[in-house]
Chains A and B, each alone.
Chain A
Amino acid sequence: MSSAIPVGDSHSEDHHDLGFIRTYIFSTDHKMIAKQFLVTSLLFLALGGMLAAMIRWQLGFPGQPLPFNLGAILPDTMAPGGIILPEFYNSLVTMHATFMVFFALMPLMAGVFGNLLIPLQIGADDMAFPRINMLSFWITPVAGAIMLASFFVEGGAAGAGWTSYAPLSTSGEWTGVYLGQILWLVSLIVLGFSSITGALNYVTTVIAMRAPGMTWFRIPLATWSLFVTAWLLLLAIPILTGGLILLLLDQTIGTAFFRPEGSGEPLMWQHIFWFFGHPEVYILILPAMGFVSEVIANRSRKPVFGYHSMVVAIVAIAFLGWVVWGHHMFQSGMNPFLGMSFMATTVVIAVPSAIKTFNWIGTLWKGDIHFDTPLLHAVSFVALFVIGGLSGIFLASAPVDIYLHDTYFIVAHLHYVLVGGSLFGIFAGITFWYPKMFGRMMNETLGKLHWGVSFIAYNLAFFPMHNLGVQGMMRRIYDPNQYEFLQSLQSTNTFISKSVFVFVSVQVLFAINFFWSMRKGKKAGDNPWDSNGLEWACPSPPPHGNFAEIPIVHRGPYEYSYPGREQDFWPQNEAPVESFGASTKPEHKPGE
């Protein structure tokens, strides 16, 4: 039997025939959709960064007018004379988190890499439902526009926090924000459809469209984690949508689901939100864990240490993620016995996280480590995720959480996992798969510089937040100096702010590198990292339909430095040589 199946002719048409609109705008090609997601979500990332810088300006230099004459640009309802108002500060905190979580990290993970990697890594020609996929992208800018518009309506943007706790969020009476809060809800309801349609595609594609020989335990970890993430999206997002709808009804037609004046239950909102929210935090990090596994294995030229336990850990995290939500509510008045059950499940979920960490370190052990930009980001991910995981242990302990809950310790924890973890993971992913997306390499010097300054500035900015939390500084406060016991922390806050400004500014280097390399970067070739995955078996960038012939998979994705082989990599689709291979190491059986 021949080792390839001809691709059906529905895809033999060349994409150049499609014209500009169908190629670049209303494209159904998963790679183009990935690029659209990439550019959009990087813009939202930049926006989120600017909002963060404003927050930090207020905390670093409270009561001083914003620099660069920003005061002249911002209306008096936000920052009269350039001095940020408390209500605008609350909007900044809310919208920073909202844009980062829902419009930057989520689309970067699922939208960009789900689209780019899943079909390529499993050897499919596209997603299962290309048109639904296109829809999934186009919903995002629409939802984003609604969210952005809320800054400019009367009362300003939502200011009840990204967690939008009721009853603060149920009525403008409490915040002065009426329309802004409604737009916030509508935008997220709309955005939910993007996640669900996307997830629908990822799940179906992975289940149904794997190339011959691509058994479950030959799937690369990036796709594994994206697949599991897709399940989480699929099941968690509708919960949020349901909750948002109820909250919207409370806001608009005067129902009382979460309003105590009508006997509604404010705590029910928290349960709904965190029942979604904890799976959500894994949506935000599992894919990054996948990218990091790929990059570390590839750049240290070694198989992933404990591939099977990595898969099991991903799946375990996804299951356990459903039963820990109460750890966000230890101090909310939840039944103290229930609190103990949540503490028990929460410490259990620390175990698979630890397994993954040790496996990454094990992958580096006795490797042949190549210090390219993707590896530096990937190893930073591990180093920083360790910190975020360990700070999680403090918070998992309910009594310690009494003191640390709603302080800067939480802010430190979540930024160690979401910036140190997810964002560095995304940088690892972008720099690693950039050549596949655009056919050119990114500039290494710029890349390393961006990484180095980011890594240092990041830690200088976020590590001291732990200390602020331990000293008792609350999160989401406009001016800590109102409290005498926090006044001595001002110098730390100023230092943090300065570090944040460096961290945010240095991202310009990344932007320059990103756009410059698209035209001027070194030509990449099909497989610049000597990698095994199927994505490297097609041209860079891959044409419409991806593979000239459907690849056939013969082995797992991490056969690096296989003993006795000349090459230190062994592509998944390389046909085995008769005399060799079978004798030293039997092929994985299908369906194992």
Chain B
Amino acid sequence: MSDAVLATIDRTPEPGMGVFNKKLGMWVFLLSEVMFFTSLIGSYIILRYAHPDHFAAPGELLNVNLTAANTFLLICSSVSMVKAFAAIQQGDLKGLQRWLLVTILMGTAFVSVQAYEYIMLSHEGFLPGLADYTAHAGGPLYGATFYVMTGFHGAHVSLGVLALIFVYIRALRGEYTVADHEGVEVIGLYWHFVDLVWIILFTIVYLI
């Protein structure tokens, strides 16, 4: 048996415990998430294409400026996540802690703005259910698709914030080092993914 064979096999000496697996696992999981959002976004596209009359023009009902600002916030949080990861790669634990906190705060702010938006919209009678569908421009499909897509995205952000808090606590305890910081990398992947989904949603729900 040759070393050549061994060398071609990508595995850690301690099977199943390596950083490689977790990262791979996250990638694989995100593919699954892609399919989940595909089903929601696909339904939206089909319904909007079939019933354009149900959907108000961009900006007519939704506050595009507010959400644009919110989008910017989320993009910034992706940048701060990158900063956090870069910090721990340099062994800068303080930097990691700082940037994680910034990311958490921006994530929380994003969800809060979204909640505020929901409240404002519901006051205007824009709801997901059937009951109100004569109340304003557009039909019931508008509210339903809007709340489902943004809502499930918001839930993903919220879960991400919780996970970040978990990572943050571990960072405060000094559990990440230059050599060992998979947790930061894996949550980072997730965070960027959620950000990416939002950019797509913002474009198709608010802008076109």
Interface residues of A (CB under 8 A from B): 1, 3, 5, 7-8, 10, 124-130, 196, 199-201, 203-205, 207-214, 234-239, 241-243, 245-246, 249, 253-257, 259, 261-265, 268, 271-272, 550, 552, 554, 575, 590-591
Contacts and interface: CB of A to CB of B under 8 A. Distances in A.
B32 A238 contact: yes
B161 to A, nearest CB: 20
Contacts of A265: 46-47, 50
A124 B15 CA distance: 7
Given A129-B22, A255-B140, A590-B9, 12 more contacts: A8-B15, A124-B15, A196-B32, A200-B29, A208-B21, A243-B39, A246-B40, A246-B43, A254-B129, A256-B133, A256-B140, A575-B1
Given A265-B46, A272-B43, A253 B129 contact: yes
A242 B39 contact: yes
A265 B141 CA distance: 10
Contacts of B43: 242-243, 246, 257, 268, 272
B28 A1 contact: no
Interface residues of B, number: 52
B185 to A, nearest CB: 15
A219 to B, nearest CB: 13
A201 B28 CA distance: 9
Interface of B: 1-6, 8-11, 13-18, 20-22, 24-25, 28-29, 31-33, 35-40, 42-43, 46-47, 50-51, 54, 128-131, 133, 139-141, 143-145, 148, 152
Contact of B11 (A127, A210, A243): A210
Nearest to B132: A254
A552 B32 CA distance: 33
B15 A209 contact: yes
A256 B51 CA distance: 12
A256 B32 contact: no
B32 A235 contact: yes
Q: Which one of B5, B20, B133 has the highest number of Cβ atoms from chain A below 10 Å of its Cβ?
A: B5
B26 to A, nearest CB: 9
Give the secondary structure class of B's interface.
helix
A211 B13 CA distance: 11
Given A129-B21, A130-B16, A238-B39, A255 B32 contact: no
B175 to A, nearest CB: 18
B6 A212 contact: yes
A235 B35 CA distance: 6
B13 A208 contact: no
Nearest to A246: B43
Contact of B5 (A212, A242, A259): A212
16 contacts: A124-B15, A128-B21, A129-B16, A196-B29, A208-B21, A210-B9, A213-B9, A238-B38, A238-B39, A262-B139, A262-B141, A263-B54, A263-B140, A263-B141, A264-B141, A265-B50
Nearest to B39: A242
A257 B36 contact: no
A10 B14 contact: yes
A48 to B, nearest CB: 27
A576 to B, nearest CB: 8
Contacts of A259: 130
A509 B130 CA distance: 54
B1 A3 contact: yes
A255 B130 contact: yes
A550 B15 contact: yes
A204 B12 CA distance: 13
Given A3-B1, A200-B32, A239 B16 contact: no
A588 B194 CA distance: 43
B13 A5 contact: yes
Nearest to B144: A255
B15 A245 contact: no
Contacts of A209: 11, 15-16, 21
B38 A8 contact: no
Contacts of B2: 1
Contacts of A234: 28, 31-32, 35
Contacts of A212: 1, 5-6, 9, 11
B3 A1 contact: yes
A5 B135 CA distance: 71
Given A128-B21, A208-B24, A264-B47, A552 B1 contact: yes
A204 B144 CA distance: 36
A124 B13 CA distance: 11
Given A262-B141, A263-B51, A550-B15, A204 B21 contact: yes
Nearest to A2: B1
Given A253-B129, A263-B139, A200 B25 contact: yes
B3 A127 contact: no
A127 B17 CA distance: 10
Contact of B36 (A129, A203, A242): A242
Contacts of B42: 272
Contacts of B33: 238
A199 B20 CA distance: 17
A268 B46 contact: yes
Contacts of B13: 5, 8
Contacts of A238: 32-33, 35-36, 38-39
Nearest to B143: A255
A207 B11 CA distance: 9
Given A208-B24, A552-B1, A272 B16 contact: no
Contact of B39 (A124, A214, A239, A255): A239
Q: Which one of A5, A128, A235, A253 has the highest number of Cβ atoms from chain B below 10 Å of its Cβ?
A: A128
Contacts of B31: 234-235
Contacts of B32: 196, 199-200, 234-235, 237-238
Nearest to B128: A255
B132 to A, nearest CB: 9
Contacts of B29: 196, 200
B141 A256 contact: yes
B11 A255 contact: no
Contacts of B18: 208
B103 to A, nearest CB: 25
A127 B148 contact: no
B47 A8 contact: no
Given A238-B35, A265-B47, A552-B1, A125 B16 contact: yes
